[in-house]
């Protein structure tokens, strides 16, 4: 039986400022991923430090924190089959110049440091990041998965 997973996605400040929120969300929805949590927020330095904890001490860490706190983000939780892997494919490579044509980062990103979007890189990272940005009661839990809908429509 197929099981769904959840992943965390954040539309970063430059994409928010440039007005790409709707276009980016539409790409995930067209691929069949369901939004089970979404909010716009201003990331604090404290939240940024928790989010990027694995990069603490690296030369690019201060720039990461400065960027993610420079304006509002749209934090989202998507659910679907192989959501982590599938959404990372839609995002494209971290460096927009290396991302596949048609990916979000290739289409909207300008520089590696300002690549418009973040997506969890594993199920474990997704769980950690979802818990940083969302309380359990902020997530919708009443979605039927696609197989349940298909089975119901056949019966």
Q: Do 91 and 84 contact (CB within 8 A), yes or no?
A: no
Q: Of 102, 71, 107, whose CA–CA distance to 89 is shortest?
A: 102
Check 51, 55, 89, 118 and give the catalytic one. 118
Whole-angstrom CA distances from 29 to 15, 23, 26, 80, 90 are 18, 10, 5, 10, 11
Residue 89 annotated to the active site: no
Cα–Cα distance for residue pair 76/138, rounded to 1 Å:
11
Candidates 9, 51, 41, 39; CA nearest to 27 is 9
- Phi/psi zone of residue 42: left (φ > 0), alpha (ψ -120 to 50 degrees), beta? beta
Residue 102 CA to residue 98 CA, distance in Å, equals 12
Task: Tell me which residues are annotated as active site.
Answer: 118
């Amino acid at each position: 039986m197929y099981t769904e997973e959840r992943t965390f996605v954040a539309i970063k400040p430059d994409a928010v400022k440039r007005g790409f929120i709707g276009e980016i969300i539409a790409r995930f929805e067209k691929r069949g991923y369901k939004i089970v949590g979404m909010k716009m927020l201003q990331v604090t330095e404290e939240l940024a430090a928790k989010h990027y904890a694995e990069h603490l001490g690296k030369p690019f860490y201060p720039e990461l924190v400065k960027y993610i706190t420079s304006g509002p983000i749209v934090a989202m939780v998507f659910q679907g089959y192989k959501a982590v892997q599938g959404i990372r494919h839609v995002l494209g490579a971290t460096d927009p110049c290396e991302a596949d044509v048609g990916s979000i980062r290739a289409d909207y990103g300008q520089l590696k440091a300002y690549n418009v979007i973040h997506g969890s890189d594993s199920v474990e990272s997704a769980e950690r990041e979802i818990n940083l940005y969302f309380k359990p009661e902020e997530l919708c839990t009443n979605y039927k998965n696609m197989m349940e809908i298909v089975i119901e429509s056949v019966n």
